Amino acid sequence: MNIGDVATASGLPAKTIRYYEDVGLIAPRRGANGYRRFDQTDLHRLAFLGRARSLGFSIEECRELMALYGDKHRASSDVKQIARGHLARIDAKLDELRQMRAALADLVEACAGDDRPDCPILADLADTTTATARAGG
Amino acid sequence: MNIGDVATASGLPAKTIRYYEDVGLIAPRRGANGYRRFDQTDLHRLAFLGRARSLGFSIEECRELMALYGDKHRASSDVKQIARGHLARIDAKLDELRQMRAALADLVEACAGDDRPDCPILADLADTTTATARAGG
DNA sequence: TATTGACCTTCCCGTGACTGGAAGCCCTAT
DNA sequence: ATAGGGCTTCCAGTCACGGGAAGGTCAATA
């Protein structure tokens, strides 16, 4: 299979597949014409990568996960540790976004959104007495 | 005030303040020695920027918001539109992260995390029949 | 006066995970 | 021969900075 075929099959852009080769996540063979030639193993690895990335794992985590996947003597605790670390980062990001959302939603709600210039959103941003730490009430 | 003073006063790193000047968000004067000289207006703008950034507005949105802030004939609807666009992006990101979290949490829970190699996390990532679309049962 | 040491300047590179685009080779069909 | 599509490499850009080098400035001190 050429790169276009695996791109279609895996759902990953050809650019991304080349990038994965660049960073050493896959190592497809080359044909006499210089084209990458992908086999089922490559396709399998790309599918693995696609799913891991869709779960938000970083490239480095993907590298570790794939190494563990190929290691028959792995301990599942090693895998779980990576996953839990990632889960913790997701939770931290969720908290951050939820706080942003709450503050922003309050401001949006308070703003008339008409043709007058008065705007609680700008007022809050320009307010020198607060430090973006307010809960609506 | 030199850059170190406004960095302390605004809570923004000096590097960030220079960057904001680079992209045209602030324009402090210069002393004879080439040092940036910040006045109260600059400090006010930096505080505005710090709060807008902490709410997750992009640099370009900050630029628009500051322009609106300085425009006495603005319509609050313009401000609200920017804020709502940002809110929508936050909500989209929240949805994405929540889905990731749910899928990942299921996998983490299913994994024994001991010294045996069996691992539902790796099994799921390597599963060629699913496309990361499963809800725990 | 010379020297420290803190502060400031500009400039360039690196981040993560790609994406866009240019220049050019390969392959197939007509 | 030519047209087109697909493939190759390489370079640059994304976003919002951060790190660090090389060097100028300032206030205080020996």
Nearest to A49 by CA among A37, A35, A63: A63
Positive or negative: CA dihedral B8, B13, B18, B24: negative
Q: What is the pLDDT along chain B (137 residues), one digit of tens a residue?
A: 999 999 999 999 999 999 999 999 999 999 999 999 999 999 999 999 999 999 999 999 999 999 999 999 999 999 999 999 999 999 999 999 999 999 999 999 999 999 999 999 999 999 987 654 443 33
Q: How confident is the model at residue A129 (pLDDT cuts 50, 70, 90)?
A: confident
pLDDT of residue B7: 98
In which element (H, E) is residue A30 found?
Answer: strand A29-30
Q: Is the CB of A13 under 7 A from strand C?
A: yes
Partner-chain contact B131 A51, CB within 8 Å: yes
Where do we find the tokens 């302390």? B8
- The string of DSSP letters for B68-131 reads HHH-TT--HHHHHHHHHHHHHHHHHHHHHHHHHHHHHHHHHHH---SSSS--HHHHHHH-SS--
pLDDT exceeds 50 at position A135: no
CA of residue A7 to C1' of nucleotide D3, angstroms: 25
Nearest to B43 by CA among B60, B71, B63, B20: B20
pLDDT in tens, A62-96: 999 999 999 999 999 999 999 999 999 999 999 99
Q: Which 3 state secondary structure label does DSSP give B37?
A: strand
Alpha-carbon gap, residue B96 to B30, rounded angstroms: 46
The mean pLDDT value of chain A amounts to 94
Query: Can you say how many angstroms the Cα of residue B131 is from the centroid of all Cα atoms in its chain?
Result: 30
In chain B, what are the helix, strand and coil shares in percent, each to the nearest 5?
65, 5, 35
From its phi and psi, is residue B34 left (phi > 0), alpha (psi between -120 and 50) or beta? left
Average pLDDT over residues A35-62: 97
Q: How confident is the model at residue A131 (pLDDT cuts 50, 70, 90)?
A: low
Enumerate the H helices of A1-137 as residue ranges: 3-10, 14-22, 40-54, 59-70, 76-110, 120-126
Where do we find the tokens 């989209």? B92
Residues 50-89 of A with CB under 7 A from strand C: 53, 58-60
Q: How confident is the model at residue A136 (pLDDT cuts 50, 70, 90)?
A: very low
Chain B closest CA to A4's CA: distance in Å?
Answer: 19
Alpha-carbon gap, residue A65 to A71, rounded angstroms: 10
